[in-house]
Amino acid sequence: MKTNFTYITFKQIEEWQNRPLEDKVTAAADIINEALGLTNNQAIAFSGGKNSLVALHIILKFKPDIKVVFCNTGVEYPQSLKFTRQVAKDWNLNFYELRPEMNFWKIVKKYGFPDPRRWVNREPKCCWYLKTKPANDFYRANNIDCVFTGISAFESRTRKLKIAERGPMYWAKRVGDTKFKKPILRVHPLAYWTDKDIWEYIELNNLPVNPIYEFQDRNGCMTCTGFIGWEKFLSKINPALYRKIMHMMGRTILEDFGGG
């Protein structure tokens, strides 16, 4: 099933939702092959999350020595950090663990905490300094001309619109505030996969699962306040960290009034 991946309409993306997993694996393979044929020095952004794990597993079949780039933000969940390093060891990855120049607490002290309502229009400063900038610096220093991700159109309406606009692969001269000397091919092999597809592929291929999914349905920074419901989750998994962040925000919690 060969597909033209340079452009696909919003309606066509919706039609992919209920297609069988076999079709989506084939599409992912076609996207990967096309990207490898267009570029010379590739990398994959690996977070340890379920999507990037599946993308990595498929890409390794075509490019076993691909550079695997993990941005250790310094505020990763301990379970997730351990899992990511274990996968790198068990799969014998060409693994690069990057660290940012600034730490999370200095960033939020200067720029404030990420707000879910502002995600649509701009990337939070903490994401930029902890993830995007270190990755971009690595890509530029190592002359990377192609970056694979585990992004899916079905993760959010914003991502669906962007993939409909650009397709699952596109040339980017700029990522955030970083301008590259030569454009980098951004590639999303799982652009048309749903969460159900991801979990089905993991089960069929007996892939390891990040233990963070025992507690929540997302992988990310432990201190993230950029998603709806972070208060409820963090107050349960790490009450001390929850209290610290709330007080830094100048917000009160029930305990401040003698409550439970």
- Is the pLDDT assigned to residue 231 strictly greater than 60? yes
Exposed, middle or buried, 8 (CB in 10 Å: 0-12/13-18/19+)?
Answer: buried
Cα dist from 54 to 119, 173, 256, whole Å: 25, 27, 44
pLDDT, tens only, 39-88: 999 999 999 999 999 999 999 999 999 999 999 999 999 999 999 999 99
Instruction: Please tell me the pTM assigned to this model.
Output: 0.89
Q: Which two tokens stand for residue 232?
A: 């409820």
pLDDT, tens only, 120-152: 557 889 999 999 999 999 999 999 999 999 999
CA 71 – CA 69 distance, rounded (Å):
7
pLDDT, tens only, 84-120: 999 999 999 999 999 999 999 999 999 999 887 655 5
CA 234 – CA 260 distance, rounded (Å):
16
Q: Which amino acid is at 79?
A: Q
Which has the minimum average pLDDT: 205-209, 224-228, 237-241, 252-256? 252-256
- Is the pLDDT assigned to residue 255 strictly greater than 80? no
Q: What is the pLDDT of residue 3?
A: 44
